Chains A and B, each alone.
Chain A
């Protein structure tokens, strides 16, 4: 490695498991699930299972200290981003670049304006406040008082993993000293109806990596991490929580929604991320898998893991607890990876029933304590966009 190490000096998260990283840790340790029917959101899907953040927009706005009249995506993002900056001890005097990911953007709000566009013609969507997916990052930067670069990434379910990758590159190249990177997505009709049309939703709480898995549960949430040049963190007396030692992105180039049968894209992403981190596969203590619970994803992901690892290390899909938080997932799972390293906890892959036929590995099914020094965290998106991050205890 000939580049400066990238330290993680702050983390923030909100998900179905709770508000704040302490709540996430407590739930991961207890093996608690956040999956259930909706209780706070007014959406017409009483029969479906979700990883809902148990807070109304008014609750979230109060937490974030802003007016609630805005997208839930922005409100969730603000709560997580504020926690991350606070955790890192970063104040308004520091120039921070924001790399933020979202797929939903202000879609939940646009829905409220939908009748208007329908009657006013499609041109009206340009007037739906906050619809453009990039708008959420501008709102975040404004409310957080950030003065650096503001960029929105959108590569489906790998979006925030790519935000973290780009953040690491910025710091390594010397173009930035402090980056706030992550993602946010709220539940809304738009994505729920879409994934239901794709027959991608389990009618019961999801069972990732199980032979009888039936699809995903949609979730919502936000997570942000403060990335900082390690020598800068040291100079201001901060001990890094962990390091973002490696990252890679590849394209599967097979199909819009399905990964190739041999898991080539995921395999290459994991292999390249470990190479980038200067780590051998044997060094990996935990894989925080993408594990959506769909037939295609989990089957091909496990094939890819078994190609890369002679013995597959403990692996889990924490989406069994949070639901699939789409663009937020990569960052949320990076936060879980940091918690695993800091607190020596291997989370559980909940509701696992039986191994996938033909596989020679199975996920970790109960939370346990263990030394975790190296985590491989994966995120694979529609469009064949595959990313892997390597998070470590030491540079």
Chain B
């Protein structure tokens, strides 16, 4: 899958997994900060994103602290998936 398609797919998966009911795929910028002031995600969302990576991409993050860098933005998530994916 090319990078752009992966990012679009990720945005849709994030919205679905995190129940971001009032957010649309186009509302999320590739480089937008997902946590805190950005998209307003919290620590439970971070854990859900770990589950998302494992469920959809077969990638396990065992240290939640690693998530802080991986889940910075859709760009960082896509890069992580492409460098770790099967």
Cβ 8 A contact of A255, one of B43, B47, B51: B43
CB distance from B20 to the nearest CB of A (A): 17
Assess the B47–A199 pair: CB atoms within 8 A. yes
Number of interface residues of B (CB under 8 A): 7
The interface size bin for chain A is under 10
**Chain B 26-50, CB within 8 Å of chain A: the 1/0 string?**
0000000000000000111001001
B-chain residues with CB within 8 Å of residue A258 when the two chains form the complex: 43
Tell me which residues from 337 to 365 in chain A have a Cβ below 8 Å from any Cβ of chain B: none
With A197-B47, A197-B51, A198-B47 as contacts: A255 and B64 at CB distance below 8 Å: no
Least CB distance, A196 to chain B, in whole angstroms:
11
Contact B64 A199 (CB under 8 A): yes
Say yes or no for A173: interface residue by CB 8 A criterion: no
Please tell me if A311 contacts chain B, counting CB pairs below 8 Å: no
Does A115 have its Cβ within 8 Å of any Cβ on chain B?
Answer: no
Q: Which residues of A contact B43 (CB under 8 A)?
A: 255, 257-258
The 7 closest A-B pairs by CB, nearest first: A199-B64, A258-B43, A199-B47, A198-B47, A257-B44, A197-B47, A255-B42
11 further interface pairs, Cβ-Cβ under 8 Å (given A255-B43, A257-B43) = A197-B47, A197-B51, A198-B44, A198-B47, A199-B47, A199-B50, A199-B64, A255-B42, A256-B44, A257-B44, A258-B43
13 contacts between A and B (CB under 8 A): A197-B47, A197-B51, A198-B44, A198-B47, A199-B47, A199-B50, A199-B64, A255-B42, A255-B43, A256-B44, A257-B43, A257-B44, A258-B43
